[in-house]
């Protein structure tokens, strides 16, 4: 059986700088993978490459066994949705029309799509149904982020890749987004999300992928990967990970003194 | 009311306004004609002076103004969708300037004498050339912000070359002809001019219509649009080529006329839910209406020397440009 998404030894150079160096991982349906790493580690580049949005200099990305570059944009979009880190809306379109763009790959009447049950349920799941007829120009940053999230859900794709889905959200919405992604994975989708909040990553993800300086340095269950040593080496924080009463908790504190990178 | 029904209402309103305005522009002029003589002139082969004025002078002029304006309205709406900037316009990308340069060059080097087709061919070819240059310089690779800057450079370069040609022109008549191209006019247009331009207008509109859905996806930015399934490379080629052909056709009909491509889409946006795909057809009709109205205005002004159409368009359009620039809030999270 093919993995939902398999990344084999990919390298990406942008303007001569090597952003990814031979990254590999395999991801199966039902997993919720959190990609963590410090700023500039290559998280976004890894996700964009995984989503088939940039040309890799070496290696291959396979989506359900197919080379992702061999799929047409529409074929790819019916299997994989991607939520970019920056979430602009350039025109003051109503929220419903923006969420309906999630159905783009299904062609035909976009006007019909705007009224479809899929779009309604995506808006409900992301908690933006009360904004349905509002113009995007009138929304706050956090509301806009949830509208984009609803758009990504509306594709109902088996693979969902989200670059910092919790950015710009208040704590309650961060938790509800994470819970929703967890539910999507439990229902058989593959969810991959880049996250900065290590605690959220540890609590909700089934698997953690740690990336540092363009290379994957950790891949496994949260409690196995997020060791004190890794947190110190990669994130330069003192971290204690423990599992109490079923809920994984991670408490972080700054290192007392500057750490050499040995 | 759903979007489709709303669009049809907007489009039919604009279409009726267009027809009414064409009729009014047949009525008015240095000799005011009666409605019945216009109908006679249009629908019978009568060769009375009134019928000849209607068929040979006023109708082609009105249609030329309308088609040039419609081309600019559609090209402006399409480029704004592609570049996600309400100030983008055929002028911004340097396509209009290059197209007018084509006209000026063939006139200055007396190539234009070879036949009526030379000037239109030159405007369309130069518009396409400017577009190809834009694409080769990086439309496939660079961000749209950089594309706008490349367009600004191209526009300045074409403008400088045009000034150079004008400075070198030994012929005072050539100079007055040059002014017609640079300031824009639809005086003395014939059905032959329309027949040359129309197929290109059709091709340009078809290209843009084909890529319009991609513009809607681009509302969310390039990465999101690509992930949604839009083929961005194809969208860019179709929109840029379509806009170039439309601009070339409009310059061949009316010379270089600015601002219609900015003002028409801006006025239409609230009526189509700010959707860049639904924007295109009504912007074309409104662009046609604006230019036809501007031409009507220059024709009935009591000046000895007729005001150039492009000057009238700029008198209305330039403040419109400033208004759009000042009131547009850039939306990006």
More confident residue, A68 or A1: A68
CA distance A110 to chain B (A): 9
Q: Is A47 left (phi over 0), alpha (psi -120 to 50) or beta?
A: alpha
Interface test with B, best of A76, A91, A136, A139 (most B CBs within 10 A): A91
pLDDT reported for residue A53: 92
When pLDDT is cut at 50, 70 and 90, the band that residue A111 belongs to is low
Domain spans of chain B, in order of start: 3-327
Give the span between the Cα atoms of B189 and B180, in whole angstroms: 12
Please report how many Cα atoms fall inside a 13 Å half-sphere around the Cα of residue B298, on the Cβ side: 25
Residue B114 touches partner A, C-beta closer than 8 Å: no
Most confident of A81-90, B132-141, B177-186: A81-90
pLDDT reported for residue B88: 79
Given a cut of 90, whether residue B2 has pLDDT beyond it is no
Alpha-carbon distances, residue B175 vs A187, B155, B168, B182 (angstroms): 74, 21, 10, 10
When pLDDT is cut at 50, 70 and 90, the band that residue B332 belongs to is very low
Q: Are A111 and B226 an interchain contact pair (Cβ–Cβ within 8 Å)?
A: no
pLDDT reported for residue B29: 77
Given a cut of 70, whether residue B31 has pLDDT beyond it is yes
pLDDT digits (tens, 9 = 90+) for B85-98: 887 788 777 888 89
Q: Are B269 and A91 an interchain contact pair (Cβ–Cβ within 8 Å)?
A: yes
Query: Which residues contact residue A260 at a Cβ distance below 8 angstroms, ignoring those fewer than 6 apart?
Result: none
**pLDDT more than 90, % of chain A:** 71
Residue B171 touches partner A, C-beta closer than 8 Å: no
Residue B273 touches partner A, C-beta closer than 8 Å: yes
Tokens of A153: 């859900």
Residues of B within 8 A of A86 (CB-CB) are 221, 223, 332-333
If we measure between CA atoms, which residue out of A35, A4, A34 comes closest to residue A20? A35
Tokens of B267: 């006025």
Q: Which of B216, B273, B332 sits opposite A101 (nearest CB)?
A: B216
Ranking A248-262, B264-278, B295-309 by mean pLDDT, the lowest is A248-262
Given a cut of 50, whether residue B333 has pLDDT beyond it is no
Q: What average pLDDT does the structure give for chain A?
A: 89
pLDDT reported for residue B67: 97
CA distance A108 to chain B (A): 10
pLDDT digits (tens, 9 = 90+) for B244-254: 899 999 998 99
Given a cut of 80, whether residue B232 has pLDDT beyond it is yes
Ranking A143-157, A243-257, B175-189 by mean pLDDT, the lowest is A243-257
Given a cut of 80, whether residue A108 has pLDDT beyond it is no
Q: Are B227 and A53 an interchain contact pair (Cβ–Cβ within 8 Å)?
A: yes
Given a cut of 50, whether residue A166 has pLDDT beyond it is yes
pLDDT digits (tens, 9 = 90+) for B205-226: 999 999 999 999 999 998 999 9
For domain B3-327, which architecture applies? Answer: Orthogonal Bundle (1.10)
User: What are chain A's domains?
Assistant: 1-64+158-261 (3.40.50.300), 85-157 (no CATH)
pLDDT reported for residue B331: 47
Ranking A125-129, A145-149, B35-39 by mean pLDDT, the lowest is B35-39
Given a cut of 70, whether residue B319 has pLDDT beyond it is yes
Q: Are B228 and A77 an interchain contact pair (Cβ–Cβ within 8 Å)?
A: yes
Interface test with A, best of B2, B81, B138, B224 (most A CBs within 10 A): B224
Q: How confident is the model over A27-43, as a mean pLDDT?
A: 95
CA distance A48 to chain B (A): 9
When pLDDT is cut at 50, 70 and 90, the band that residue A207 belongs to is very high
Q: What average pLDDT does the structure give for chain B?
A: 86
More confident residue, A39 or B180: A39
When pLDDT is cut at 50, 70 and 90, the band that residue B47 belongs to is confident
pLDDT reported for residue B87: 77
Give the span between the Cα atoms of A222 and B273, in whole angstroms: 46
**pTM of the predicted protein model:** 0.89
- 3-class state of residue B303 by DSSP: coil
pLDDT reported for residue B262: 87
pLDDT reported for residue B141: 56
Q: How confident is the model over B107-134, as a mean pLDDT?
A: 83
Q: How confident is the model over B278-286, as a mean pLDDT?
A: 97
Residue B2 touches partner A, C-beta closer than 8 Å: yes
Per DSSP, the residues of chain A read ---SEEEEEEEEEETTEEEEEEEEEEE-TT-EEEEE--TTSSHHHHHHHHTT-S--SEEEEEETTEEGGGS-HHHHHHHEEEE-SS----S--BHHHHHHGGGGGG-S-HHHHHTSHHHHHHHHHTT-GGGTTSBGGG--HHHHHHHHHHHHHHT--SEEEEESTTTT--HHHHHHHHHHHHHHHHTT-EEEEE-S-HHHHHHH-SEEEEEETTEEEEEE-HHHH--HHHHHHHH-EEEEEEEETTEEEEEEEE-SSPPP--
Given a cut of 50, whether residue A150 has pLDDT beyond it is yes
Interface test with A, best of B77, B86, B143, B229 (most A CBs within 10 A): B229
């Amino acid at each position: 059986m093919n993995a939902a998404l398999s990344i084999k030894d990919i390298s990406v150079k942008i303007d001569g700088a090597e952003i990814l160096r031979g990254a590999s991982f395999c991801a199966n349906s039902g997993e919720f993978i959190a990609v963590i790493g410090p700023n500039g580690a290559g998280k976004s580049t890894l996700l964009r490459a995984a989503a088939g949005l940039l040309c890799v200099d070496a290696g291959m990305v396979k989506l359900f066994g197919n080379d992702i570059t061999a799929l047409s944009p529409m074929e790819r979009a019916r299997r994989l949705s991607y939520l970019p880190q920056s979430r602009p809306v350039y025109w003051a379109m109503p929220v419903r029309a923006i969420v309906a763009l999630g159905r783009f790959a299904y062609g035909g009447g976009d006007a019909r799509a705007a009224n479809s049950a899929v779009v309604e349920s995506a808006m409900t799941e992301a908690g933006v149904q009360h904004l349905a007829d509002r113009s995007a120009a009138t929304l706050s940053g956090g509301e806009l982020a949830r509208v984009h999230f609803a758009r990504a859900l509306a594709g109902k794709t088996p693979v969902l890749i989200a670059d910092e889905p919790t950015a710009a959200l208040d704590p309650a919405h961060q938790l509800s987004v994470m819970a929703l992604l967890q539910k999507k994975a439990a229902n058989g989708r593959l969810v991959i999300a880049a996250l900065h909040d290590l605690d959220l990553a540890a609590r909700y993800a089934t698997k953690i992928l740690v990336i540092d300086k363009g290379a994957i340095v950790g891949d496994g269950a949260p409690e196995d990967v997020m060791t004190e040593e890794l947190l110190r080496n990669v994130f330069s924080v003192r971290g204690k990970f423990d599992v109490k009463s079923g809920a994984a908790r991670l408490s972080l504190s700054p290192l007392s003194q500057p750490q050499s990178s040995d | 009311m759903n979007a489709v029904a709303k669009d049809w209402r907007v489009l039919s309103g604009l279409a009726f306004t267009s027809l009414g305005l064409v009729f009014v522009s047949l009525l008015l002029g240095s000799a005011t004609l009666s409605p019945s003589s216009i109908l006679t002139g249009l629908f019978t082969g009568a060769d009375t002076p009134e019928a000849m004025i209607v068929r040979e002078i006023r109708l082609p002029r009105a249609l030329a103004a309308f088609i040039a304006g419609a081309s600019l309205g559609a090209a402006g709406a399409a480029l704004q969708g592609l570049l996600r900037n309400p100030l983008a316009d055929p002028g911004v990308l340097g396509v209009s300037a290059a197209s007018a340069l084509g006209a000026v060059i063939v006139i200055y080097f007396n190539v234009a004498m070879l036949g009526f087709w030379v000037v239109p061919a030159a405007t369309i070819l130069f518009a396409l050339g400017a577009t190809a240059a834009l694409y080769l310089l990086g439309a496939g690779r660079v961000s749209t912000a950089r594309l706008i800057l490349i367009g600004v450079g191209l526009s300045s370069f074409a403008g400088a070359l045009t000034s150079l040609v004008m400075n070198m022109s030994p012929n005072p008549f050539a100079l007055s002809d040059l002014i017609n191209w640079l300031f824009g006019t639809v005086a003395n247009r014939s059905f032959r001019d329309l027949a040359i331009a129309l197929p290109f207008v059709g091709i340009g509109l078809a290209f843009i219509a084909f890529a319009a859905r991609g513009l809607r996806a681009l509302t969310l930015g390039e990465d999101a649009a690509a992930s949604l399934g839009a083929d961005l490379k194809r969208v860019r080629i179709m929109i840029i080529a379509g806009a170039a052909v439309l601009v070339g056709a409009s310059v061949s009909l009316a010379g270089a006329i600015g601002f219609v491509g900015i003002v028409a889409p801006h006025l239409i946006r609230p009526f189509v839910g700010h959707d860049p795909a639904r924007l295109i057809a009504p912007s074309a009709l409104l662009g046609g209406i604006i230019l036809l109205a501007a031409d009507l205005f220059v024709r009935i002004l009591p000046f000895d020397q007729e005001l150039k159409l492009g000057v009238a368009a700029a008198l209305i359009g330039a403040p419109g440009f400033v208004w759009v620039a000042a009131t547009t809030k850039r939306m990006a999270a």
